[in-house]
Amino acid sequence: MVEDLLAHSGHIALVRGLQVGHFTHPERPTGCSVVLCPQGATAGVDVRGAAPGTRETDLLDPSHLVQQVHGITLAGGSAWGLDAASGCVRWLEERGAGLDIGVGRIPLVPAAVLFDLTVGDMRIRPDAAAGYAACQAASSARPAEGSVGAGAGALVGKIFGFDRAMQGGIGTASFTVDGVTVGALIACNAVGDVYHPRTGQLLAGCRRSDGQGLLGARDALLQGLAPQALLTGSNTTIGVVATDMALTKAQARRLATVGHDGLARAINPVHTMSDGDTLFALGTGQADGTLGLITLFTLAAEAVALATARAVLLARSLPVAGQTAAPCWADSKACL
């Protein structure tokens, strides 16, 4: 049953020190999402997919100089979507946020993108103006979920062809224990299927050839059915896992690493050669309490798993001129 996932009230903007905003392009399903921490947050990253599209990930290495970032950008549009981070940088600079370099401040905004170029006109994609608009929309209110922002053009279950895929999206979840909140924001555009992370129920993914139900990609692969050749990088799940507990850079990197455990609970297959799965981690240091790292990491993996499932449960089919819209979880025929 999915009622527990739909009823989950936590979200990443409950992490103190963060604001979240989306921009969804009005002309086709694509967009970007930002997680802002203007006062700075310790950050890490873990890239598990074999075909990533990223910006400013090297500076997050624990051995490198920079200790904090000021935002994270997630975007559609494949490599072109990385330009959305430039708009986020400009927005933060205008507000005096960034690394002090004496003559000014440089906002540091790592980014990751997913591939949504087959949905509508690929010439329409997130740019710097889109990133700026997402920042303008950012707040500490519960972020919109489903077919918005970086998840607007997402699809899941493409392993046996785009024509058998379902609508992906973006989702969020969080947990609070002893004054510490851990939250996640996940844009799910996986080549694999998405499952209920607690019950194992198949939620969305590759449909049967008649389109009237779910095939179950994992079982099909185990039975020897060969996947369709896919353009490398034409998928990818990206996201942010964050806490308001203070972290070192090494701990932030480990937080991103265990976040991928949550992806593996909700997506199968995951971290493939056609995915660029990337998770960023943030620690704002604004919590009232502290947690042991085992507890912190357990909350992180669970938040990522639930956010991933919510991304497909709250997605909606979006009409695209000249194309058949992919069905979503809410479409009854796709849920048989």
- pLDDT tens per residue across span 80-99: 999 999 999 999 999 999 99
255 domain residue, yes or no: yes
Distances in Å between the alpha carbon of 219 and those of 25, 43, 267, 268, 305? 36, 37, 13, 10, 21
Rounded to two decimals, the pTM is 0.95
Residue (of 312, 301, 283, 60) closest to 171 by Cα position: 312
Angle CA(54)–CA(57)–CA(61) in degrees, nearest 5? 155
71, pLDDT greater than 90? yes
Distance between CA atoms of residues 288 and 31, nearest Å: 34
49, pLDDT greater than 50? yes
**Helices (H), ranges, 10-145:** 84-94, 128-136
pLDDT mean over 290-314: 97
Higher pLDDT, 204 or 217: 204
134, pLDDT greater than 70? yes
173 domain residue, yes or no: yes
334, pLDDT greater than 70? no
Please identify which residue in the block is written with the tokens 């370099």: 101
User: What token pair was written down for 187?
Assistant: 């844009």
Q: Which residues of 228-257 are buried (b: 16+ CB within 10 A; e: fewer)?
A: eebeebbbbbbbbbbbbbebebebbbbbbb
- Mean pLDDT across the chain: 93
99 domain residue, yes or no: yes
333 domain residue, yes or no: no
The predicted pLDDT at position 229 comes to 67
β-pairing, 54-55 vs 111-113, is antiparallel
Distance between CA atoms of residues 107 and 305, nearest Å: 30
The predicted pLDDT at position 274 comes to 87
Higher pLDDT, 34 or 276: 34
Please tell me what DSSP assigns to residue 214.
Answer: B
Total domains in the fold of the chain: 1
Instruction: Give the range of the structural domain holding residue 257, as residue numbers without chain letter.
Output: 3-319
The answer to whether residues 108 and 98 touch, using CB atoms and an 8 Å cutoff, is yes
The predicted pLDDT at position 268 comes to 95
- What sign does the CA torsion over 263, 46, 171, 289 have? positive
The predicted pLDDT at position 335 comes to 47
The answer to whether residues 305 and 199 touch, using CB atoms and an 8 Å cutoff, is no
Confidence grade of residue 318 (pLDDT, cut at 50, 70, 90): confident
Read off the pLDDT of residues 150-204 as tens digits, 9 standing for 90 and up.
999 999 999 888 888 999 999 999 999 999 999 999 999 999 999 999 999 999 9
CATH code of the domain containing 143? 3.60.70.12
Higher pLDDT, 233 or 99: 99
324 domain residue, yes or no: no
Q: Count the neighbouring beta carbons within 10 Å of the beta carbon of residue 27.
A: 10
Read off the pLDDT of residues 237-275 as tens digits, 9 standing for 90 and up.
999 999 999 999 999 999 999 999 999 999 999 998 888
The predicted pLDDT at position 232 comes to 58
pLDDT mean over 109-119: 95
DSSP string, 293-335: HHHHHHHHHHHHHHHHHHHHHS-----BTTBPPPP-TTSGGGG
Confidence grade of residue 234 (pLDDT, cut at 50, 70, 90): confident
335 domain residue, yes or no: no
